Amino acid sequence: MATTKKTTTTRRPARSRTATPRQSNTSNPSLATRTGKAIAKRPVATAAIATGLVSGIAAAVAGFFAFKKSGKSFSEFSGDVAASVKDKATETSTKVKDGLSDAGTKAKESVSKLRDGIDERFAADKTQAEIAEEALTLKQTGETTTIPADPVIEQQSKVGSISY
């Protein structure tokens, strides 16, 4: 028959139930400790929260002083502020809509010019009469334009592999 060895286990000594100062801090850290750890882990987020908090407090103080200086009741003052904000929002919305429609119109014009083959860089420099005069001069002298300037493209256009 097979024999088995009996293993012995050693027990750890019992811990003291009295809490040391270090144990109490780790099990329930104070607000200052938690805040310090949060600042160390996420400094950018903490700075953003602090900035928002300071801005909110400053706005509340400015609103309180404006309310006291106006001499109106709170409902009158809040109604005036709401009407002012609504007017500004409507004005801004109108400006944005007008800007978008202007941008859309300009984009459509640019696309139509590109589809028509008008190159604005060259068309804006010469009038229609100047272009016609140049064409007539080139026809009479027998010269050709310098487009295309690349010799490879010039060879390909002579062969007929590229059409313009």
Its pTM stands at 0.35
Cis-peptide into 148, omega within 30 deg:
yes
Please check whether residues 57 and 116 belong to one and the same domain.
no
Residue 107's domain comprises 74-143
> What is the Cα 149 distance to its own chain's centre?
42
Count of domains observed in the chain: 2
Please check whether residues 111 and 134 belong to one and the same domain.
yes
> What is the Cα 13 distance to its own chain's centre?
62
pLDDT tens by residue, 118-163: 655 555 567 788 888 888 888 888 766 666 556 666 666 665 555 5
Please check whether residues 90 and 137 belong to one and the same domain.
yes
pLDDT tens by residue, 48-87: 999 999 999 999 999 899 888 888 888 888 888 899 999 9
Q: 93 in a domain, yes or no?
A: yes
Q: What is d(CA 102, CA 105) in angstroms, rounded to the nearest whole number?
A: 5
Q: 149 in a domain, yes or no?
A: no
Tokens for 82, please give them: 């709401």
Q: What is d(CA 152, CA 161) in angstroms, rounded to the nearest whole number?
A: 11
Distance (Å) of CA 73 to CA 57, 66, 76, 78, 127: 22, 12, 5, 9, 68
